[in-house]
Amino acid sequence: MGVVTKYIQNQKEHHRKKTFLEEYQMILEKFKIPYDERYIFKPLE
């Protein structure tokens, strides 16, 4: 099975551990991308 296919199939389990928002902020921080939390995605209520 291809790496991309495994990645896609694992998304449901992956997001049980981290939300999209948490993962997005981790990527910004990892690559030292400045951001203002006021403009980060907000979860739908």
Residue 15 has a pLDDT of 60
φ/ψ of residue 43, rounded to 5:
-65, 145
Residue 29 has a pLDDT of 96
Longest dimension (CA), the chain: 40
Residue 14 has a pLDDT of 61
Query: Looking at the whole model, is its pTM more than 0.75?
Result: no
pLDDT in tens, 1-45: 688 888 778 777 766 778 888 889 999 999 999 999 999 888 777
Among 20, 1, 17, 18, smallest CA distance to 9 is for 1
The two tokens of residue 43 are 């979860």
